[in-house]
Structure 1
């Protein structure tokens, strides 16, 4: 059996390995910088809500402008969530772009994309039927006041 190292210059191999290590170190430093700068800020279309997310997707900041006072409470939560989702998509795009520059091969990017948040479909809003409570934790009695429910009748949060 032939020796696979026959004819190789050890100094040349060492120089190549050192150059590869230096290149990897440079790429890692660049990737670290790009990822640390990959936070994203999104503002709702009406300007009422602004959120900032870290590159990990963690919420860093949320602010409400004066317009938020005009938004009803039942619409404020969904507005915040849509704004957060827009920022998540932006963070995902920035992180993916940074990784793509460093590890652009399709197999690696397919692996990375499996962990990135995908755009969520906008849910269609369904109006509650006349006999439904519209999402309230309390159920109404026929006498008018709220009635606590137990585990056998829907598992209310009230016990």
Structure 2
């Protein structure tokens, strides 16, 4: 291969990588996701990194309890975050290669698919609103257990700080001062 051919091949590879990088950037910027409730009363939008960027709550969504509303919002947010992560992986695939280790690493972190309406017992923990009055007593705490670490033993000898160092005085005996 001549130097001119090598340079031509190298320039073609650079142009291909630049084109793929530009496509990746364009696809990445549009990789956010929006999810809506079945009745359209809730809409959640997330950025490509999964950050919440918009939340729309129609008045009709307020008909249930605060806990139900919070659960619906969280479910839609998780669903949108997963969709955004899938979009990012799809944008990354042409740049990394369809069967590359880096693509497998990215897709290995995709959040699990969200059920449409999981039973209350299977819902993940999160923030919840309750109808309990503000003056309700908090649940009783169990008594604290001892730490198991013993305290520092107290010296029963003379009250002299130098005893811990063998009783030797650097500047002579104390009674000589």
TM-score (norm 1): 0.70
SS in 2 for 1:61: strand
1:116 maps to: 110
Structure having the higher Rg: 2
Higher RCO structure (Cα 8 Å, ≥6 apart): 2
TM-score (norm 2): 0.64
Whether 1:36 aligns to 2:62 is: no
SS in 1 for 2:44: strand
- Partner deviation per Cα, 1:2-29 (whole Å, 9 max, x = no partner): xxxxxx3111111111110110001000
- In structure 1, the gaps of 5 or more residues are 1-7, 127-134, 139-144, 154-159
- Partner deviation per Cα, 1:100-141 (whole Å, 9 max, x = no partner): 233212534312211222225676534xxxxxxxx98x9xxx
Say whether the 8 Å CA contact 1:46–1:67 is kept in structure 2.
no
User: Distance between the aligned counterparts of 1:118 and 1:69, measured in 2?
Assistant: 28
SS in 1 for 2:43: strand
How many residues align structurally?
A: 131
User: Distance between the aligned counterparts of 2:33 and 2:113, measured in 1?
Assistant: 16
Which of 50, 68, 85 is 2:43 aligned to? 50
User: Distance between the aligned counterparts of 1:9 and 1:80, measured in 2?
Assistant: 63
